[in-house]
Amino acid sequence: MKSIAVITLAMGLLLGGCVSQPMRSAPQTLSAQQVEQLFAGKTVESVNRSTGITSFTYYDPDGRVLQSRLWSQRSGKWTVKSNGKVCLTFDKTQCRRIANDNGVYYKLRKRKGEKAKRVVAYRSFHDGNLLLGKNQAWPKVSHFRP
């Protein structure tokens, strides 16, 4: 009886070492074409990882962008550079890389001498402009109103 227990334990230890863990791939930065496909014509929900503030942004294929957060909207422009950086222009222009980490997308900020940091996490992507009603005009403000 004791030998069966020892054999069972030995088999368990042996087989336990054979169980493979899922491989986790490194985050991949997106190309310009991938960024265009991901954002154009979509309303995107995102969260700022340091403040926790959620934003909803519509990326019109014509280059306009509309963003809503904390009961206020602003409008501006968006473009994608050939290196894959998405650029948003409201009061000023900011360009960032987008990374895919196993199906979760992030906006990255890289400062000189630092590693890229995940500053925004994208929660969802929905077709169409979900921020404006049928007869509602596109706002002309480039900053959020308090």
User: Which pLDDT value is given to residue 25?
Assistant: 59
Show the tokens assigned to 121: 């996490």
**Could you report the per-residue pLDDT of 114-126, keeping only the tens digit for each?**
888 999 999 999 9
User: Which pLDDT value is given to residue 139?
Assistant: 83
User: Which pLDDT value is given to residue 26?
Assistant: 65
Show the tokens assigned to 135: 């007869």
| pLDDT above 60 for 69 | yes
Could you identify the residue written with the tokens 């334990």?
9
Give the residue-averaged pLDDT of 87-100: 95
Average pLDDT, rounded, for the chain: 85
Q: Which stretch of DSSP H or E encloses residue 100?
A: strand 93-101
Q: Which stretch of DSSP H or E encloses residue 45?
A: strand 42-48
* E-only strand ranges, 13-115: 28-29, 42-48, 54-59, 64-69, 72-80, 86-89, 93-101, 104-109
Show the tokens assigned to 83: 């290196």
Q: Which pLDDT band holds residue 143 (cuts at 50, 70, 90)? A: confident
Domains of the chain with bracketed CATH: 28-127 (2.40.128.640)
Q: Which of 14-18, 40-44, 133-137 has the lowest mean pLDDT?
A: 14-18
**Could you report the per-residue pLDDT of 97-114, keeping only the tens digit for each?**
999 999 999 999 988 888
User: Which pLDDT value is given to residue 12?
Assistant: 46
Q: Using an 8 Å Cβ cutoff, are 99 and 118 in contact?
A: yes
